[in-house]
Amino acid sequence: MKKGLLIIFSGPSGVGKGTVRELFFDKEELNLAYSISMTTRSPREGEVEGEDYYFVTRERFEKAIANDELLEYAEFVGNYYGTLIEEVERLRNLGKNVLLEIEVQGARQVIERVPDSLSIFLVPPSMEELERRIINRRTESADVIHERLSKASKEMDLMNHYRYVICNDDPQIAADSVALIIKRNIETTL
């Protein structure tokens, strides 16, 4: 069986990666699997262990770093987030195209480590719109919102490392564009 693609889906915090992903993820022809990340962040209301993330202690996360269990990791607004090599390889070896929905520092590590990965960067229509989205999410305290916002403008500077940049003005149009890119890349690697 042919090994699945590794797809990096990134963009600044609050751009709407999760919303766009939900609109293309279940398309059968894309044959996608989601890599569940490990994080030291506390679960938000409604988040499920082993579905949204593996929620772990800092100690467990640092052990994973020391043991080389992670394909990439980053510290984001005071918490660790990382991708487990074992999780990604297991799914790719089943022929699944594995989607990593990760922030930019981690994405950069994967782009370097896995040169044949497919990297897609989602941008907001404007920084004002991004600010509005982060504030409207209302899941974080004012301090965290402020930190995520100042981080977002730096994150935007990294977009030229990606193979594709998609604007999330309308989530459905953005999702259709991402789906088309993935489909084309599956076809060319067949």
> To the nearest whole angstrom, how small is the minimum distance from the Cβ of residue 138 to ligand 5GP?
13
82 part of the interface to ligand 5GP, by CB under 6 A: yes
87 part of the interface to ligand 5GP, by CB under 6 A: no
End-to-end CA, the chain: 11
Which residues lie closer than 8 Å to 6 by C-beta, 6 or more apart?
Answer: 88, 92, 97, 98, 100, 110, 114, 116, 117, 118
4 part of the interface to ligand 5GP, by CB under 6 A: no
Identify the CA nearest to 122 among candidates 159, 160, 70, 173. 159
Encoded one letter per residue, x for contact with ligand 5GP by CB under 6 A and - for no contact, window 169-188 reads --------------------
Torsion over CA: 171, 94, 117, 131 (sign):
positive
Q: Which is nearer to ligand 5GP, 17 or 96 (CB)?
A: 17
For binding to ligand 5GP (CB under 6 A), which residues are involved? 13, 17, 37, 41, 72, 74, 76, 81-83, 101-103, 106
